[in-house]
Chains A and B, each alone.
Chain A
Amino acid sequence: MNYIATIGEREVKVTVKEVGVARYMVTGAEKEYLVDAHQVQDSVWSILYGTESFEVDVQGRDDEYEVLIEGDCYKFSLMNEQRKALIRAGWKGAVGKALVTSPMPGKVLKLLVAEGEEVQTDQGVIVVEAMKMENELKSAVTGKVKEIFVKEGEVVELGSKLLLVE
């Protein structure tokens, strides 16, 4: 199976072939590796890479991956070749950067703007409290507050829509 990993600006083609129980032949960046991979604990893998042993925590969501190895976080996107081609052809709906979502579960403490109000990039628009810390969330764009989806005092989940700036 062929995959495309995008690391910053760079794209790397990776091929995975299963060659035995928990054994894979992986080709990437013109090299070939025999990898022995066991999912040992939830998202944690024990990887024998040649004879080198690594403990690797793999988190993937919406094609975006975060992999922890020895305290370092490796961020990249990864998808199979077909999906990459489809996205290149414009299949993926454009995601509005102007939507402010909650980066954590918590409580809406204060709305700093009202609907229709003009806001600047990096202007604080809403305060969300989680674990006794107040976090002021900022607008990523300059524009007008189109819609507010929450009320003060409301409990929100990770990823909840808070407000839309256009």
Chain B
Amino acid sequence: MFQKILIANRGEIAVRVARACREMGVRTVAVYSEVDRRALHVRCADEAYLIGPPPASESYLVIDKIIDIAKKSGAEAIHPGYGFLAENPLFAERCEKEKIKLVGPSAHSMRAMGSKTIARKTVQAAGVPVVPGTVEPITTEEEVFRVAGEIGFPVMLKATAGGGGKGMRLVKTEGDIHSALRMAKSEAKSAFSDDSVYVEKYIENPRHVEIQILGDRHGNYVHLGERECSIQRRHQKVIEESPSVVITPEVRAAMGKVAVDAARAAKYEGAGTVEFLVDQNINFYFLEMNTRLQVEHPVTEMVTGVDIVKEQIRIAAGEKLSLRQEDVKQTGHAIECRVYAEDPDRNFMPCPGLISSLRTPGGPGVRDDSGVFEGFEIPIYYDPIISKLVAWGKDREEAIARMRRALNEYVVTGVKTTIPFHIRVMNNRHFLEGDFDTNFIDKVFFPAERERELPHFEVAVIAAAIQLYLDERKQAIAGRPSGTGEPVSMWKYSSRPGMPKIL
């Protein structure tokens, strides 16, 4: 086993990895940018090193700096988390060259499965069904038009190196090609330093279901069942659960086998996820493989009892998988809500800023994988994720009830968060019935929300009136002149001639 691991990430995932290391008795090395000195991941590590200015391209994404600190600190392995360098084959190659073990697959398997276009070729050769589209990256508008002509509109533009909904644009008609291609390439460039994109047929109303796999270098593979990730906003997952209500034991076994076959074909080592689109007839199509730890891995951990991060570390250290396929049992149901610093009542605008107060939920079946604390300022430079709230129950109903209860306990002030949005979803009839696809948020949820009558307007107005009353009284006592935007003190106006007298 390793003595020391460098965690090349920040935020909640760096904290998650550090927790696993601590439990295993492995020392941890954190890296941080200039804005992250006070961040939680620095505080919970054994050692920490400054790696540069705030922009990720000058800190968390700089391979030389990370390698340099790994050597300086004597770390034998690097855990990349997700995002940043996690799926960069150049980084994997460099680690191999420097004899530092990357907790993840080899550069070779990363290339085979990490690039969406190459992965499609690999799995097609193994007979896995794929969504129609280009195998080669495209560069011009004419090419998009030509491919769309062959497979039919609507089509999807996707970043070859992508993930997380970045560098992804829907093209409904010819008129959308110009701006969609420009935005997709530009986002792909800034998120992944690679602006190549490809075209894929857009399957209408699909579900997004993925299989978690683990593989070791001794040729052992298992899958840990599925995660249902259809609740998405701007193609980014926001709520995940396991198991999926539509996946039968037979389909699960079939998808699991395909996922393991795909991993085996790429000699894949470590934890990985094979994503599928599932149509209304429960046909599944290979979408892509994520060659890293997924954001939503906790839902699988909650239903299988497997600590995926610890497995990753053991596999990286050369150990054999600690379980066989027949040892894997799904027990109960788990749901994860991603809590972002975004305003759900303003089209999910990012809301970086100071967390002025915080109360985290607890109680039975609740897990909060957080990367923040009260007094932390969420920087503008990175993903606005605050935490991942996970609830486990003996069945889906109990898991949802616990999630709803935990969300109501969760109080974050100073920044807007997506907690209110999650509460609303946990009350939506279609969600409760398991009746949804990837269009749920835009096509079902928002229209239903616009119709819904809010039950507590009286309480809202009364609370605001009391606050305004106290604010005004405070100002009147302080004798402070009223500036713009502040509630106007009535005393001031009442003293002006011609103004109505206050009774």
Given A68-B420, A76-B460, the answer on whether A131 and B488 have CB atoms closer than 8 Å is no
Say how far A3's CB is from chain B's closest CB, in angstroms: 5
Q: Which residues of A contact B380 (CB under 8 A)?
A: 105-107, 130-131
Say how far B293's CB is from chain A's closest CB, in angstroms: 19
B439-464 Cβ-contact flags toward A at 8 Å (1 or 0): 00000000000000011111111111
Given A45-B463, A74-B456, the answer on whether A83 and B350 have CB atoms closer than 8 Å is no
Q: Which residues of B contact A130 (CB under 8 A)?
A: 350, 352, 380
The answer, among A49, A79, A105, for a CB contact under 8 Å with B352, is A105
Q: In the complex, how many residues of chain A place their beta carbon closer than 8 angstroms to a beta carbon of chain B?
A: 66
- A104 and B383 alpha carbons, distance in the complex (Å): 14
Which B-chain residue is minimally distant from A78 (CB atoms)? B464
Contact A1 B463 (CB under 8 A): no
A86-105 Cβ-contact flags toward B at 8 Å (1 or 0): 10000000000000000111
Say how far A12's CB is from chain B's closest CB, in angstroms: 7
Give the residues from 368 to 401 in chain B that come closer than 8 angstroms, CB to CB, to chain A: 380-384
Contact B382 A16 (CB under 8 A): no
Which A-chain residue is minimally distant from B383 (CB atoms)? A131
- A130 and B79 alpha carbons, distance in the complex (Å): 26
Say how far B181's CB is from chain A's closest CB, in angstroms: 14
Contact B464 A70 (CB under 8 A): no
- A145 and B166 alpha carbons, distance in the complex (Å): 30
Contact A71 B357 (CB under 8 A): no
Say how far A141's CB is from chain B's closest CB, in angstroms: 19
Q: Which residues of B contact A131 (CB under 8 A)?
A: 350, 352, 380-384
Which A-chain residue is minimally distant from B486 (CB atoms)? A62
The answer, among B166, B344, B381, B461, for a CB contact under 8 Å with A14, is B461
The answer, among B166, B455, B487, for a CB contact under 8 Å with A132, is B166
Contact B485 A47 (CB under 8 A): no
Say how far A21's CB is from chain B's closest CB, in angstroms: 13
Contact B352 A74 (CB under 8 A): no
Given A3-B468, A43-B413, the answer on whether A69 and B462 have CB atoms closer than 8 Å is no
Which B-chain residue is minimally distant from A26 (CB atoms)? B462
Contact A45 B467 (CB under 8 A): yes
Contact B456 A54 (CB under 8 A): yes
Contact B461 A7 (CB under 8 A): yes
Contact A106 B350 (CB under 8 A): yes
Contact B460 A79 (CB under 8 A): no
Contact A37 B463 (CB under 8 A): yes
The answer, among A41, A80, A129, for a CB contact under 8 Å with B472, is A80
Contact A1 B490 (CB under 8 A): yes
Q: Which residues of B contact A133 (CB under 8 A)?
A: 166, 187, 234, 350
Q: Which residues of B contact A109 (CB under 8 A)?
A: 186
Contact B466 A37 (CB under 8 A): yes
Contact A72 B420 (CB under 8 A): yes
- A86 and B494 alpha carbons, distance in the complex (Å): 12
- A20 and B307 alpha carbons, distance in the complex (Å): 54
A44 contacts chain B at the CB level, 8 A cutoff:
yes
B499 contacts chain A at the CB level, 8 A cutoff:
yes
Give the residues from 29 to 83 in chain A that come closer than 8 angstroms, CB to CB, to chain B: 29, 33, 35, 37, 39, 41-45, 47, 49, 54-58, 60-63, 65-76, 78-80, 82-83
- A78 and B457 alpha carbons, distance in the complex (Å): 13
- A75 and B469 alpha carbons, distance in the complex (Å): 18
B349 contacts chain A at the CB level, 8 A cutoff:
yes
- A69 and B463 alpha carbons, distance in the complex (Å): 10
B350-377 Cβ-contact flags toward A at 8 Å (1 or 0): 1111001101000000000000000000
A5 contacts chain B at the CB level, 8 A cutoff:
yes
Contact A1 B469 (CB under 8 A): yes
B419 contacts chain A at the CB level, 8 A cutoff:
yes
Say how far A68's CB is from chain B's closest CB, in angstroms: 6
Contact B190 A47 (CB under 8 A): no
A85 contacts chain B at the CB level, 8 A cutoff:
yes
Q: Which residues of A contact B459 (CB under 8 A)?
A: 47, 49, 54, 56, 69
- A70 and B420 alpha carbons, distance in the complex (Å): 7
Q: Which residues of B contact A136 (CB under 8 A)?
A: 183
Q: List 8 A-B contacts (CB under 8 A).
A: A57-B413, A71-B422, A76-B460, A85-B500, A104-B351, A131-B352, A132-B383, A133-B350
A interface residues (Cβ-Cβ under 8 A, vs B):
1, 3, 5, 7, 12, 14, 16, 18, 24, 26, 28-29, 33, 35, 37, 39, 41-45, 47, 49, 54-58, 60-63, 65-76, 78-80, 82-83, 85-86, 103-107, 109, 124, 129-136
Which 7 residue pairs of A and B lie closest in terms of their CB atoms, listed nearest first? A71-B423, A74-B460, A67-B460, A42-B413, A42-B357, A16-B469, A71-B420
Given A26-B462, A44-B413, 7 new contacts (CB under 8 A): A1-B469, A3-B469, A71-B422, A72-B423, A82-B493, A82-B499, A82-B500
